[in-house]
C-alpha cells in the first residue's frame, strides 16, 4: 500500500460551480478524516467516518458541503455552489482505531481548490 491518495491534486473552478474530491485511505484503516487548510493556518477538522458512518461534522461544514464513504472504503467530499472563501487545501487522513488512545493519522497530499 502506498498510503493515502487524493484526487484531483488541484482544482480550479468558477464561483457557483460544484466540485467533488476523492480520498482513498490506507486499506485496513477504519477511520477517515477530512480537514481544510488555508494559507498560513493549521488544518481544521471538517468531518470523520468510522467505516461507512459519518460520526461528527464541524461547524465549518456548511450545508453546501457533503461527504460520503460508501462501503467504508474511499470517501468523497462535495462542495455545492462554491464560493471564493472555499479556496483552500482539502486534506484527507486515515487511521486505525481499536479503542485505545493511540491514533496516528496518515495524511494524503491534499487537493488544492481555487475558486475564481
Q: Does 39 bind other proteins (CB under 8 A)?
A: no
Of 14-22, 44-52, 61-69, 74-82, the window that binds other proteins (rule: CB under 8 A) is 44-52
For residues 14-33, which are near other proteins according to CB under 8 A? 31, 33
Q: Which of 8, 15, 17, 41 binds other proteins (CB under 8 A)?
A: 41
Give CA–CA dist 60/102, Å, rounded. 26
Residue 2: CB partners within 8 Å, gap ≥ 6?
Answer: none
Of positions 56, 68, 78, 83, contacts other proteins by CB under 8 A: 56
- Rounded CA separation 108/11 (Å): 16
Q: What CA–CA distance (Å, rounded) separates 116 from 102?
A: 40
Q: Does 97 bind other proteins (CB under 8 A)?
A: yes
Amino acid at each position: 500500500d502506498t498510503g493515502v491518495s487524493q484526487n484531483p491534486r488541484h482544482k480550479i473552478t468558477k464561483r457557483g460551480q460544484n466540485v467533488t474530491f476523492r480520498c482513498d485511505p490506507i486499506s485496513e484503516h477504519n477511520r477517515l478524516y477530512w480537514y481544510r487548510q488555508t494559507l498560513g493556518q493549521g488544518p481544521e477538522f471538517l468531518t470523520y467516518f468510522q467505516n461507512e458512518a459519518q460520526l461528527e461534522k464541524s461547524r465549518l461544514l456548511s450545508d453546501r458541503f457533503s461527504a460520503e464513504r460508501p462501503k467504508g472504503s474511499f470517501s468523497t467530499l462535495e462542495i455545492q455552489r462554491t464560493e471564493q472563501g472555499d479556496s483552500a487545501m482539502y486534506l484527507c487522513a486515515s487511521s486505525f482505531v481499536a479503542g485505545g488512545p493511540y491514533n496516528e493519522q496518515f495524511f494524503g497530499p491534499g487537493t488544492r481548490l481555487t475558486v475564481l
